[in-house]
Amino acid sequence: MELRDLKTFVIVARNLSFNRAAQALNTAQSTISARIAILEEELGVHLFDRIGRKVALTDAGVRLLDFAQRMIDLEDEARTYVIGEPSAGGSLTVRVPESLCVFRFGPIIKKFRERFPLVRLSFISCTLDGLEADLRQGVTDLAFVYMDSVTAPDLKVDLLGTEALGLAAAPSHALARKRNLGPSDLQDVPLLLSKGDCSYRRMFEGMLLENDVTPGAGIEFQSLAALKRCLSLKLGVSILPAIAVTTELKAKQLAGLSWKGEKLETGILMIRHRKKWISPMLEAFMELVQAELGRQLR
């Protein structure tokens, strides 16, 4: 595959128009069509569905788009590295739990942006599903998870610190008035759980299972804000990083539950593929994360 053809593919995919792509690249539409045809022939798949004058990505086109953009970005990163242009472009795709990104990563992103103003940053909510494959394939540059350990020979895993967890509910919830809660107190109690911060959730669900506790019918959320809002409406109990509910606890919108069971905490892991090329901007991002989390979690 020629990088020129991949760049053409990305422009067409972003515009969903061969005509607008031709205008953007200042070339003839026939040239655009020819390059896409060459790419489709090389791959043996259709990348676009052409319905009249409209264009839509096929499933194969959707799968290629991320890889094509990464290859284009890699060219920018290589130029940055070779000729030493700190202002050159490129991209980083980072998978990170929502609460970690919201409450810990702000200063990191600000400092990184000041140093690399033209680099595109993409933060994706981190679930464990498909994470290892994405790191191996280069779709994801770097990942952070709430876990104590990850075992995979081709992944480099660094423990950055420990995050305190806590149980929370509405102040008017019956368990908010009870002292020294244990696993058995959660029998038949609905759990409101985060899909994006799922690693510590699995730990907690495992703890309940070991104690033969069956919670009530739960609710799963992609959004941390939605989860906390429903907690305040007395819809159940949740386990969350303590830092994620600090504001709501102070405002008495939520109440922390008194827990007598085993200590609730989780490690924060930084994960990358061992063979991943560490570009200057990726190295800088990792160093900023280590320094800032080291300061925050002291």
Give residue 135's pLDDT. Answer: 83
Give residue 138's pLDDT. Answer: 74
**CA 233 to CA 190: how far, in whole Å?**
13
Give residue 249's pLDDT. Answer: 96
Are 155 and 271 spatial neighbours (Cβ–Cβ below 8 Å)?
A: yes
- Domain architecture of the chain: domains with CATH: 3-73 (1.10.10.10), 81-161+269-296 (3.40.190.10), 163-266 (3.40.190.290)
CA distances from 284 to 52, 115, 278, 279 (A): 47, 9, 9, 8
Mean pLDDT of each 10-residue bin along the chain, 298 residues long: 85 86 86 90 90 83 83 72 62 90 96 90 80 78 89 89 95 94 95 79 89 93 93 95 95 95 89 85 93 90
Question: pTM, whole model, 2 decimals?
Answer: 0.73
Give residue 113's pLDDT. Answer: 93
